[in-house]
Amino acid sequence: MAGDSDRPMRYAAVVIIVLVLAAILVPLINVLGDLGYFHERTYLLVLQDNSELRNTGGFLACVGSIDIQNGEPKNLKLYYAPSNAYANDTRSAAVSIDGPESFTNFYNSTLVRFWDLNVQYDFATFAPVYASTWQELTGQHSDGVIGLDLTALQELLKSTGPLTVANETITWRNVIDRVHYASATAEREGKSDLAAFLGELSSKLIAAVQGADPVGKLLLLNNLQTLAQQRHLLVYAPDALKGYDGAIQKKAGDFLYVVDANSGGGKADLTVNRTITYHAYLHDDGTQTSNVTLTYANDCGWTYKVFTTTLVPKDAELLDTRNSSYLLGPQVTSSDDLTAISSYVEVPAHTTAFVTYTYSLPTTLVAAGVYSHYDLYVPQQAGLDHHTLNTDVTLPHGAQLIRESNVGNGTATNGDVHVEVIYH
């Protein structure tokens, strides 16, 4: 019999299933009871609309909470965008935040509305802010936060097949449009149509999951693990489930993390194609010059507006900026041992726009030894379905390439990328 220390590893995959389904109000009571893992805890839930991208995955379309008492989900609650989350209906209530500076300095404000609270760079940083704010406004303590986006809903429906909700056939192809329709109805009429739609969808999903054969359940597990790796499913639980919270992983070597926030550009992000082009020039003296171009191809019929922040290594010095469209910035700030370069860009309908930064790094990022080793880590922002990555590395004068990986153009990626170059 395995020891207690092995339980988190053995249960991790099942816990992920439980948490994501709970996030759309699917009460897997039997599984939770068998686990005996949570005892008495409260989790906050958040559905992020990644067709309207925000830093941690998308606009906070629907939030809520669920109590898990000895393995049994109770007191499930959802709130639309959360207009009715508090007794005094504070749709326009302002919440004070203490960062990041790239946001607060650019907009010259430390106040945001509740459903604009996810301005932090990753879900792991946002979740405790969300939980503490929720407790301050509602008095409700929480033990963790579960987030998923519309892409996750699509993938779940690919696993279960079409479902009938409110006398409509809901498939992975139309679920996003149906969520947006319910959200728009709630906005116009002040009703909880979105919460009602998600509630009914959840009951149909649980029936489909429980009725699936073993092969179907294994396929669902595989899909959920992939969604977690791609940051469409995010779980923040202190002291548990590390690696599923979307935290920025600080590793030795070069680093490039682009975080985009739709700033009044409508629900456009699923039809905006992003390309990151990065060229690192490694100099003989150990310093480095980098050039990164962010390109946005807007296939929508309206102007796309994006507040974009590029996170690079500490002490980077911005040397030059070029752009093809309307741009405010750039602004350079520092945070958590990283340098943030931020700009506001507007991309007219059916056009392509770009912004290019050239910056220097004063200290070497190359690991020395028998061979020199250059590493570049490019995390993908939560909520993105994909982006195109182009990379190139110019070695010091006279250096001989031994091996390289993930270097080149046109890499369509749906996940993090590790570029590696070994030379001497």
Closest CA to 46 of 270, 304, 382: 382
CB 261 within 8 A of CB 53: yes
pLDDT score recorded for residue 286: 87
CB 228 within 8 A of CB 16: yes
Asked if the model's pLDDT at residue 352 lies above 50, the reply is yes
**CA geometry: angle 393, 399, 401, nearest 5 deg:** 60
Token pair 């690696």: residue: 243
β pairing state of 254-255 and 372-378: parallel
pLDDT tens digits for 123-177? 999 999 999 998 888 888 888 898 999 999 999 899 889 999 989 999 999 999 9
Asked if the model's pLDDT at residue 4 lies above 80, the reply is no
pLDDT score recorded for residue 175: 94
Rounded mean pLDDT of the chain?
A: 83
Residues 6+ apart with CB under 8 A from 7: 37
State how far the Cα of 376 lies from the Cα of 15, in Å rounded to an integer: 32
Token pair in block for residue 35: 């686990």
* Residue 44 amino acid letter: L
Q: Is 15 helix (H, G, I), strand (E, B) or coil?
A: helix
pLDDT tens digits for 190-223? 555 777 888 788 778 767 876 778 777 778 777 8
Paired residues of 361 in beta bridges = 288
Q: How much of the chain is helix, strand and coil, in % rounded to 5?
A: 30, 40, 35
Sign of CA dihedral 127, 128, 131, 136: negative
Element (H, E) at 360: strand 352-361
Which domains does the chain show, CATH number per domain?
4-236 (3.40.630), 254-423 (2.60.40)
* Residue 90 amino acid letter: T
- Residue 241: how many other CB atoms lie within 10 Å: 17
Q: Give the CA count within 13 Å in the CB-facing half-sphere of 342.
A: 25
Separation in Å, CA 72 to CA 14, 82, 141: 15, 25, 18
Q: What's the DSSP call for residue 421? A: E
Closest CA to 253 of 360, 335, 340, 374: 374
pLDDT classification of 187: cutoffs 50, 70, 90: low
